[in-house]
Amino acid sequence: GLEPMSIKAGSPSVPVPGYDVQVLDERGEQVPPGQEGAICLRLPLPPGTLPTLWRDDDRYVASYLETFDGYYLSGDGGYVDDDGYVFVMGRTDDVINVAGHRLSTGSIEAVLAQHPDVAECAVIGAADPLKGQLPRGFVVLKAGRDVDEDELSAELVASVRDEIGPVAAFRDVRVVPALPKTRSGKILRKTMRQIADGEHPAVPSTIEDAGVLETITPRLRNS
């Protein structure tokens, strides 16, 4: 039982002893292996884990313990496969609602990232009067790649349709020179979505290069 475990691409492996990781649906029921949901930890948590937020017990309870009775809500969405390996697909607030279907933007990004010309990507849920939200993709090309944007867009849209299905209603992909990030490397998807929706964006003080937002704003707003 101490031999090295197999590595699965995209998974940090299985939970360490002491952590009972469960994936739950919106009703708080455990989903079958391979199905995405909210990644949670069954209480009680192991000794030494986060007991509360500094001087804000109420916010700790409201944020992490109230959503599902008896569980700690991690805020991440993903799934556990048949072998018990955990796959984190993104934050649960990155889940979008397309005509009543809940879709993970992380799942769509995973498809886009497989393309040989794509260096990195981001998918946001932009407001739509008919479907509620529609996914929009933004990709950065690998260095030295010179591709036709319309052809690349068609290939990426077809890939998402094949792997996720037409329910994703994914039809919009734009090539951008860079993606806005914090200094720690987190892509500012919320800020991108706010710009796409015509809102006043909340730009964090930790942004790495504010000039990137100025550069891609026309692409975000041009739907």
Res 51: pLDDT? 84
- pLDDT tens for 125-141 read 999 888 889 999 999 99
Looking at per-residue confidence, does 201 or 33 come out higher?
33
pLDDT surpasses 70 at 148: yes
Alpha-carbon span 163 to 149, nearest angstrom: 21
**What is the edge-to-edge ordering of all strands in the sheet holding 37-42?**
21-24, 37-42, 71-80, 86-91
Res 92: pLDDT? 76
- pLDDT tens for 14-37 read 999 899 999 998 889 999 999 888
Average pLDDT over residues 54-64: 90
The model carries a pTM of 0.69
First to last CA, the chain: 54
Domain annotation for the chain: domains and CATH numbers: 21-91 (2.30.38.10), 99-221 (3.30.300.30)
Q: Identify the band that residue 223 occupies on the pLDDT scale cut at 50, 70 and 90.
A: low
DSSP conformational letter for 130: T
Average pLDDT over residues 4-19: 91
- pLDDT tens for 98-120 read 888 778 888 899 999 999 999 99
- pLDDT tens for 154-179 read 999 999 999 999 888 999 999 999 99
Q: What is the chain's alpha carbon radius of gyration, rounded to the nearest angstrom?
A: 19
Res 192: pLDDT? 93
- pLDDT tens for 65-100 read 999 999 999 988 889 999 999 998 877 767 788 888
Res 107: pLDDT? 84
